[in-house]
Structure 1
């Protein structure tokens, strides 16, 4: 039996999709490797990159990150990369099958939450299996967030 993996250490977060937690109920999250070219890694190390409007899809037994933007490396030459190309995500086959089933049968969505470098210096994507929120769910989230903020103010003022 294989040893369990230690929890992932996020040493440097490059891009974060903060809106995803507001627009979706996060059911499950996965850590996936991402297949990058050399200039893409350099660009990410400088802290450039965006996953605000990106999503992931399962195609032919592979998971692809679509519409993520990693700008061209400033010192790159003719070997520079395309900023919005689809990028392959590296997951185990069992995880891919599970994600494929959830997306097809249950109507869920694959949303990237963040891109970061782990403790070993590898670029990783935190991928979430999510279900979309309706408008009234979003209003409830706003009410709850405002109440927690007000509660913190009251506790700070009294104590």
Structure 2
């Protein structure tokens, strides 16, 4: 059976699955080229969806691109020593951590949490509801 949607993978590959490389060039958080340990620089054909923002010098894992013999797919990034983990799931809670600001955005709605303690909620309409009690506590409360 011949399926034209299947690309055969050559066993004589220049990039081994799980191989480590260094990001040689990057733009807008994506690697453009990577340098393997043997000195060969390869173009990057793509990144897996979970790969973090990348910068030059980051160490990444690679997989071969079955569509191009001399290209690689970035499958992950190694954390730097002492680097914070930006998110974790623990005790039924999802913890998101950001050094300066955490921004949640959907269309015209934004929630921003700043490291200095400021919280900004912006949207066309903002609703706050509570089943029992709604408490506002602050030195001053400004309405309109």
TM-score range (shorter-chain normalised) is under 0.3
What is the TM-score normalised by the length of structure 1?
Answer: 0.25
Q: Which has the higher contact order (CA 8 A, sep 6+)?
A: 1
* TM-score normalised according to structure 2 size: 0.26
Larger Rg: 2
